[in-house]
């Protein structure tokens, strides 16, 4: 266990040093947050809509800002560190070490996420709270449930990203997969539009996929639209399922391992 803690700690420290990337990221989050907030505000106010699919205007603005704050925390797109190590062959020395390969990468990701809690989530959310009128939870326990739910979202997201990365054992080039993954995630995580806004059949599809557990479920917990118990059930299910699936796929990959280069 000590190894994984030490790995996470170093990853945390490393990510703390990426100051320019952090500032650039915060700026982008702010731009998109303000843009989406303005669009939704116009949509609600000009149409004189009070409630759309269960969302009031402050609630939809909260949805927008949580989404922006979560983006980097759950690392929704473009995480290919494992795939890169497979492509370069560096994966060999990691697989040769007597450690749990998936746990090792999870530790790195949790170290990164702990950093992004501080450097990305908190500042982005604070920006949204200062600039717009958001909907706040009434109780401490909702805050707590939200905190837990976001951490579970990180685990679900990791499980998914890890699986995706393992495809590099079979495919020399993951760019194609990446394009599809970004599309699917933007949509089915509920980042762009709340899943409650989807037409009926599409909503059913979204509910059977793991992606809503990454963005939509924490938002629903924050807004009190979903009980903590139901959120926990959905997210814990996907954490376990993806971890097991990751293990199965990893074992298959190692069995037929073809490491690139000499």
Partner 1 sequence: MITARGLSKSYWVARHRRGALGAMRSLVDRSGREVRAVRDISFDVAAGEIVGYVGPNGAGKSTTIKMLTGILVPTAGEATVAGYVPWNQRKSLASKIGVVFGQRTQLWWDLPLIESLELLRFVYRVPVDRFQANLTEMRSLLDLDPFLETPVRQLSLGQRMRGDLAAAVLHEPPLLYLDEPTIGLDVVAKARVREFLARINRERGVTILLTTHDLADVEHLCRRMIIIDRGRLLYDGSVEALRQRHGSHRTLVVDLEAGATIDGFVRDGVELVRADGPRRWLRFDREAVSAASLISSVVARAPVVDVAIEEPAIEDIIRGIYEGGLRAEPAVSE
Q: Which residues bind Mg ion (CB under 5 A)?
A: 262
Q: 55 - beta bridge partners?
A: 52
User: DSSP secondary structure string, 45-114?
Assistant: HHTT-S-BTTB-HHHHHHHHHHHHHHHHHTT-S---HHHHHHHHSTHHHHHHSSS-HHHHHHHHHHHHHH
Using the rule CB under 8 A, is 180 a contact of partner 1? Answer: yes
Using the rule CB under 8 A, is 54 a contact of partner 1? Answer: no
Interacting partner of 54 out of partner 1, ligand ATP, Mg ion, none (Cβ under 5 to 8 A depending on kind): none
Interacting partner of 96 out of ligand ATP, partner 1, Mg ion, none (Cβ under 5 to 8 A depending on kind): partner 1
Interacting partner of 52 out of ligand ATP, partner 1, Mg ion, none (Cβ under 5 to 8 A depending on kind): none
Interacting partner of 173 out of ligand ATP, partner 1, Mg ion, none (Cβ under 5 to 8 A depending on kind): partner 1
Using the rule CB under 8 A, is 258 a contact of partner 1? Answer: yes
Which among 209, 231, 212 is positioned nearest to 222, based on CA atoms?
231
Between 19-46 and 122-131, two packed helices, what is the crossing angle to 10 degrees? 30
For residues 189 and 76, the answer to whether their CB atoms sit within 8 Å is yes
Task: Tell me which residues in 85-114 interact with partner 1 (CB under 8 A).
Answer: 89-90, 92-93, 95-99
Among 34, 52, 249, 259, binds partner 1 (CB under 8 A): 259
| Number of DSSP helices (H) and strands (E) in the chain, helices first | 12, 0
> What's the residue count for the chain?
262
Nearer to ligand ATP, 86 or 206 (CB): 86
- The least distance separating ligand ATP from the CB of residue 257, rounded to whole angstroms, comes to 9
- The least distance separating Mg ion from the CB of residue 98, rounded to whole angstroms, comes to 24
Distance CA 94, CA 257 (A): 13
The C-alpha angle with vertex 172 and arms to 84 and 251, in degrees rounded to 5, equals 75
Q: Which helix (DSSP H) or strand (DSSP E) does residue 121 occupy?
A: none
Task: Tell me which residues in 236-255 interact with partner 1 (CB under 8 A).
Answer: 254-255
Using the rule CB under 8 A, is 170 a contact of partner 1? Answer: yes
Nearer to Mg ion, 50 or 262 (CB): 262
Interacting partner of 127 out of Mg ion, ligand ATP, partner 1, none (Cβ under 5 to 8 A depending on kind): none
Nearer to ligand ATP, 89 or 182 (CB): 89
Q: How far is CA 175 from the centre of its chain?
A: 19
Binding site for partner 1 (CB under 8 A): 2-3, 6-7, 10, 14, 89-90, 92-93, 95-99, 170-177, 179-180, 254-259, 261-262
């Amino acid at each position: 266990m000590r190894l994984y803690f030490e790995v996470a700690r170093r990853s945390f420290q490393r990510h703390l040093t990426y100051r320019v990337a952090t500032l650039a990221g915060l700026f982008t989050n702010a731009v998109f947050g303000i843009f989406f907030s303005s669009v939704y505000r116009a949509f609600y106010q000009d149409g004189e809509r009070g409630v759309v699919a269960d969302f009031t205007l402050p609630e939809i603005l909260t949805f927008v800002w949580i989404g922006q704050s979560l983006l980097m925390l759950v690392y929704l797109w473009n995480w290919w560190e494992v795939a890169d190590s497979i492509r370069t062959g560096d994966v060999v020395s990691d697989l040769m070490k007597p450690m749990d390969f998936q746990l090792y990468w999870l530790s790195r990701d949790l170290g990164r996420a702990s950093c992004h809690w501080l450097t990305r989530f908190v500042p982005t959310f604070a920006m949204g709270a200062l600039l717009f009128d958001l909907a706040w939870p009434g109780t401490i326990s909702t805050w707590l449930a939200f905190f837990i739910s976001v951490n579970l979202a990180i685990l679900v997201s990791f499980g998914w990203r890890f699986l995706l990365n393992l495809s590099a054992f079979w495919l020399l080039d993951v760019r194609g997969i990446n394009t599809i993954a970004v599309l699917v995630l933007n949509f089915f995580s509920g980042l762009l539009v709340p899943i409650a806004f989807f037409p009926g059949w599409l909503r059913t599809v979204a509910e059977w996929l793991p992606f809503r557990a990454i963005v939509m479920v924490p938002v629903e917990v924050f807004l009190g639209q979903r009980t903590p118990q139901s959120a926990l059930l959905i997210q814990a299910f996907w954490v376990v399922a993806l971890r097991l699936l990751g293990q199965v796929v990893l074992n298959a990959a190692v069995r037929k391992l073809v490491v690139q280069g000499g």
